[in-house]
Amino acid sequence: MSGRGVLVAVDTLLNERFTYLEGNISVERGDVVYVPFGKGNKKLLGVVVKTDAPIDNLPYELKTLTSFHEEWPRLSEPHMRWLEWISEYYMHPIGWVLKLCFPPLLKKVKGQKSKRPAIVPEVEQSEGHKLNAEQSHCVETISQMPGFATHLIHGVTGAGKTEIYLELFSRTLHAGKRGLFLLPEISLTPQLIHRFAKRFGGEIAVLHSQLTDRERTNQWWDIVEGRKKILIGARSAIFCPIEDLGLIVIDEEHESGFKQDEMLKYSGRDAAIMLGRFRDCPVILGSATPSLESWKNAIDKKFVFHQIKQRVNARPLPDIEVVDMRAEKDLPQKYPMKPFWLSQVLYEEMLNSLARKEQIALLLNRRGMAQAVFCQSCGHTAQCPNCDISLSLHGSAHLVCHYCDYHENFKSKCPDCAEGERVNLGLGTERVEDDLRKLFPDKIIARADRDEIQSRAEMEELVEKMEKSEIDILIGTQMIAKGLDFSNLKLVGLLLADISFNIPDFRASEKSFQLITQMSGRAGRHVKEDEAPGRVYIQTYNTTHESIVFAKNHDYEGFVANELIQRQQLNYPPFHKIASLKIQSPDQRTVYQASEILAQRAEALKNKFEIFREIEVLGPAEAPIAKLKNQFRHHLLLKCGQHKTLNQFIQKLMSDSKWIPKQTKISVDVDPLNLL
């Protein structure tokens, strides 16, 4: 064969590089090309990963590259090396990883205009606030460490971490570099974009899932071609190939929203750290409640640690009171109209706050009217036919599955025994809103959950109304607990704080503590030093749970010290790496047999190779949600002290797939956050 051979990562599920002849086009590593693929020579996209590939003595005839992609630029060497790391670490086909770097559409046709509101509002620019001593020390320390390093900023809620980010980005732009700012939730973007726009004007680009394909494409080209200098986005924005990258910031780094659970199961936080390493730029992690992994890296001096112990302008942290709901039934019933889920003390505080025209936020991390519906006669519970989970009641008329979105009309007569009446069990945000409208008919009440807030415009409208004090009481799920800053919000209530205590997940206590602390931090963020602090009421049936005890005392360090002891004893992160192997099939017997065979193969591999002896294999077992979207599910959990050893073990374990039954899928999740 004549001509130069090149290796191409093709957009296909095969985790291989394919050899092609270069032909009439001259390519370099990182070029995006079209290639003929398969028996029908279907034209697929691919990225050149190596030139001068050997072509002699091959047992088949090579095909020739078709053409370059008409628009997409060559990926730089640091970006290519980072993408290859992601493919190897998360065990995902390199071709599928590479395609995440590009926009969904071709460039915008000239003259085409969007009718949607501007993504970045035009606001009057202003200089940043004067930094206090703690903020200034943090900025100067980071600025004096050029090149790659991971910095963890642990600051109490309201400590002014955003002002630190803004100053660091200002210095980055002054040095001729560009920046990347990652958020875990799009619900945080309206306020953040406004603050960045006030500081940097038209230098901001935005990427997240609530944009249209055209908007995402235009924003992508704005940052790639240099018209914008700072990219703000959710986790997928990390793949945008930004040259001259000088700073990466991951705000609320502890949040599970940075972890992708489908397809490429990557951690946006961890991937960002590695991107900073390959780009040789600093990476900033910020949180009032850092993940245990990041905290351990900080105390082990793998991360540079910065701590901010005071709120801006010495504003006091909120007073937190724990309300024992078990004792509520024994109290004199002073308020006959009060719903069962509302304690007397919180109700009285709400009355006082409303009289002072202060805003109130109530957190309930559960949507709908009720989380279950059951028959009082036969005990039948409404179950999703596709998933192993109860249906939730919405709007007193629809039963909904929150996993597969199955819907059915609610009928009070039991479909199983045809005699009993079905009743609601439990509580959801919709029920809370309904009760509060009866309790406070003259007040403006808003709800923020996935049912009510489904678009960027709806979230922006909610934030604007809260900022203007046009909402008296805000009810929401965890989307209102993170990063939002409302000056007139003085009272916060956490309803049924116990919800996440008993989830079958070793991170349950950590997630509960983080949610309680973050939500508490929304209260009284703008009170002055000599004013009464914000007030927080945690309603619970388990007053001695560690997440509540430590959160009440604003004691993050006490919580993590206690939690780390338990994690170390059980070889869980951050002391060991873990990976989850999920086996699923539409046939229950098949998934059971496949999971047993996989476990046997894992044990045989451990016995065969000395290097794998330290790996723990837990399971197989039914997943906590044993059926999801008509798929029966089992899983194995693997633990190991070294991630490279664990990676090699899984590669060998999954190298032969011939034994896997038809319609059975085995997926690998490295560093899983969701074990359900």
Contact 651, 581 (CB under 8 A): no
Which amino acid type is present at position 373?
Answer: V
Distance CA 197, CA 205 (A): 10
**pLDDT value for 397:** 77
In 3D space, the residue among 61, 50, 64, 57 whose CA is nearest the CA of residue 22 turns out to be 64
Name every residue whose Cβ is closer than 8 Å to that of residue 76 and which is 6 or more positions away in sequence: 30, 241, 243
pLDDT of residue 322: 97
* Distance (Å) of CA 582 to CA 342, 649, 656, 669: 40, 16, 16, 8
Contact 483, 251 (CB under 8 A): yes
Domains of the chain and CATH, by start: 5-76 (3.40.1440), 133-312 (3.40.50.300), 315-366+428-569 (3.40.50.300), 369-426 (no CATH), 577-670 (3.30.70.600)
pLDDT at 89: 96
Q: Rounded to whole angstroms, how far apart are CA atoms 347 and 114? A: 46
CB within 8 Å of 499: residues ≥ 6 apart: 364, 365, 366
Residue 537 near residue 345 (C-beta atoms within 8 A): yes
pTM of the model: 0.93
Mean pLDDT of residues grouped by 10 in the chain (676 residues)? 84 88 92 92 94 84 92 96 96 92 85 67 81 96 96 94 96 97 81 90 91 94 96 95 97 95 95 98 97 97 96 91 92 88 96 97 79 74 85 81 86 82 78 94 93 82 92 92 88 90 86 94 88 94 94 96 96 96 96 96 96 95 92 96 96 92 95 90
Q: Which residues contact 26 (CB under 8 A, 6 or more apart)?
A: none
**What does the alpha-carbon distance between residue 552 and residue 549 come to, in Å, rounded to a whole number?**
5
Sign of the four-CA dihedral 327, 329, 332, 338: positive
Q: Is the dihedral of CA 607, 612, 614, 620 positive or negative?
A: negative
- Alpha helix segments (H runs only) across 104-205: 133-143, 161-174, 189-200
| pLDDT given for residue 148 in this prediction | 98
